[in-house]
Chains A and B, each alone.
Chain A
Amino acid sequence: MISPTVYLARHMQVMLSTLGQMIRSPMSNLMTIAVMGIALALPAGLHIILKNVQQVTAQWDGAAQISLFLKQSVTDKQAEQLTTILRQRQDIKSVTNITRSEALEEFRQNSGFGEALESLEENPFPAVIVIYPTEQSDNLLTVQGMLANFKDRPEVELAQLDMQWLKRLYAIMDFGRRGIWVLAAMLSLSVLLVVGNTIRLAIQNRRDEIEIIKLIGGTDAFIRRPFLYTGFWYGLSGGILSWLLVTLSIWLLSGPVSQLATLYDSDYSLSSLDLNSSFILLGLSISLGLAGSWLAVSRHLHAIEPE
């Protein structure tokens, strides 16, 4: 009965007129949009921060190294022999031998405790052999096997895997990721309720109109349409606001971060929301706006019947 072009034109008209209504009463609508924007910016911002941390730590991945602290009784020559043996292993990329005197020298230069060392009669440092596994064997399981193997050697006092802290960091980040999901879920729910409540009030304000439209033969879809479009606009503007908030925050942080990076001899810079994430953020926000208004409309529209 209704031609597609007229149908489409009607949708466009409702879409624009609901936007017009929102613009005409900016204050109350801005409140709703601000709540949505802030609620969505929080998990989005945390997500970005986590992603940046991941980017930084990804560079450290495969940086497993095993330090063998040799017994005091082991001579430099014995250490050299051990180093040669280790170099021949297939699963080892490179080996560095730090003799006791080298270790002492290095400490003297870097620590600033040089003078304190003078007073010691004997070099307190053990010789250290630092082992870098090849890329193939650079996974936790293999490296831990190697570690157990080295521990048993008679020359070795202590074998230490310098990856523990990275594992811990990953565990913390996993925890953080999970935490962000939980936070995002809860804040999404609150966005849903905020939109739902706003639409509920809009429905109540237009009760007479809804009754009259029902009296003269308006279908549920016809009555629902402007409210759904209102939800859509809330979602879109809330999403844009949250995008702006995140982008602005990243921009504000990028100065100090690059300063910090310079201090670490890195040219690292904070990455903001990429195109993909931006669309996901907007899409999520629009879906929440639509879902919230749908909930309100389906709950409250049936209750309004003309008498």
Chain B
Amino acid sequence: MIEFHNVSKRYPGFGDALSQVSFKLASGEMAFLTGHSGAGKSTLLKLIAVLIRPTNGQVLVNNENIGHISRRRIPYVRRNVGIIFQDHKLLFDRTVFDNVALPLVISGLSHREIGRRVRAALDKVGLLSKEKSLPITLSGGQQQRVGIARAVVNKPPILLADEPTGNLDPELSREIMDLFAQFQQVGTSVLIASHDLDLIAQMGSKVLTLNEGRMTAGGMHNEPQGGFR
């Protein structure tokens, strides 16, 4: 589902954020992306969402090389990638329902279909009773779950999460992680950037470790242009 082949990202003036990174995430596979802050976790996730373009190498999502797609194609790639942000990125002037409905509205679904799917997603994250609330009235954990509902409402084949448990207590964190595991079980590829090593150990999934832009564990080592490590 996701394949990186010798991917490097250089920010002019700041050096390499990622260098020669190669890894694969199969369909329905869950993996954690770890590393100290500044190791390149966010850069890697941004490449998958085409928020930035690789300097070198190939980024394949669903067998499409997204490193060089046209600007017009980007929205359609992003619709296949549900993203969960540490700061939730919710619209605070809209209800929970409207926030979750946004990806479906963008895709142009009918009114009835939107209502059905939004309620299913809210039910999944346990916030069905909050559909008419404004996000500001919800707790941090609840807001995070609204963000998750929005990311999965479109049933994307790929789910990315950037430090989803960053501000949550261990119990809530575990709940969120279990939620991700459920999506993985229905065939979604899940990639979670996190530095919560205890939690990662509990989940028992594949772990990709980044260190100063290089993948030191979990990547592929037999790349033809290898030369990393």
Residues of A bordering B, CB below 8 Å: 1-3, 6-7, 9-10, 208-209, 211-220, 222, 305-307
Option from B46, B72, B109, B150 in Cβ contact (under 8 Å) with A216: B150
Question: Across the interface, which residues of A come within 8 angstroms of B111, CB to CB?
Answer: 9
Interface contact B78-A215, CB-CB below 8 Å: yes
Interface contact A307-B51, CB-CB below 8 Å: yes
Which residue of chain A has the shortest Cβ distance to B94 in the bound complex?
A209
Which residue of chain B has the shortest Cβ distance to A212 in the bound complex?
B89
- What is the bound-complex CA distance between A222 and B75, given in angstroms? 10
Q: Is B204 an interface residue (CB 8 A)?
A: no
Q: Is B108 an interface residue (CB 8 A)?
A: yes
CB of B135, distance to nearest CB on chain A (Å): 12
Interface contact B106-A218, CB-CB below 8 Å: yes
- What is the bound-complex CA distance between A306 and B102, given in angstroms? 16
The secondary-structure label for the interface of chain B is helix
Option from A2, A209, A306 in Cβ contact (under 8 Å) with B51: A306
- What is the bound-complex CA distance between A219 and B89, given in angstroms? 18
Question: Across the interface, which residues of A come within 8 angstroms of B119, CB to CB?
Answer: none
Interface contact B102-A6, CB-CB below 8 Å: no
Interface contact B49-A215, CB-CB below 8 Å: yes
- What is the bound-complex CA distance between A212 and B76, given in angstroms? 15
CB of B52, distance to nearest CB on chain A (Å): 8
Option from B72, B79, B109, B110 in Cβ contact (under 8 Å) with A217: B79
CB of B2, distance to nearest CB on chain A (Å): 17
Question: Across the interface, which residues of B come within 8 angstroms of A307, CB to CB?
Answer: 46, 51
A-B contacts, 22 of them at CB < 8 A, read A1-B108, A7-B108, A9-B111, A208-B89, A212-B90, A212-B91, A213-B102, A213-B106, A214-B75, A215-B83, A216-B79, A216-B150, A217-B75, A217-B76, A217-B106, A217-B107, A219-B75, A220-B72, A220-B75, A222-B75, A306-B51, A307-B46
CB of A204, distance to nearest CB on chain B (Å): 15
Question: Across the interface, which residues of A come within 8 angstroms of B89, CB to CB?
Answer: 208, 211-212, 215
Interface contact B83-A216, CB-CB below 8 Å: yes
Question: Across the interface, which residues of A come within 8 angstroms of B51, CB to CB?
Answer: 215, 305-307
CB-contacts of B74-91 with A (<8 A): 75-79, 83, 89-91
Most buried by B among A2, A7, A215, A217: A217
CB of B212, distance to nearest CB on chain A (Å): 21
Q: Is B54 an interface residue (CB 8 A)?
A: no
Interface contact A217-B108, CB-CB below 8 Å: no
CB-contacts of B39-62 with A (<8 A): 46, 49, 51
Q: Is B164 an interface residue (CB 8 A)?
A: no
Known: A10-B108, A216-B83. A209 touches B91 (CB 8 A): yes
Contact with A along B102-145 (1 / 0, CB 8 A): 11011111110000000000000000000000000000000000
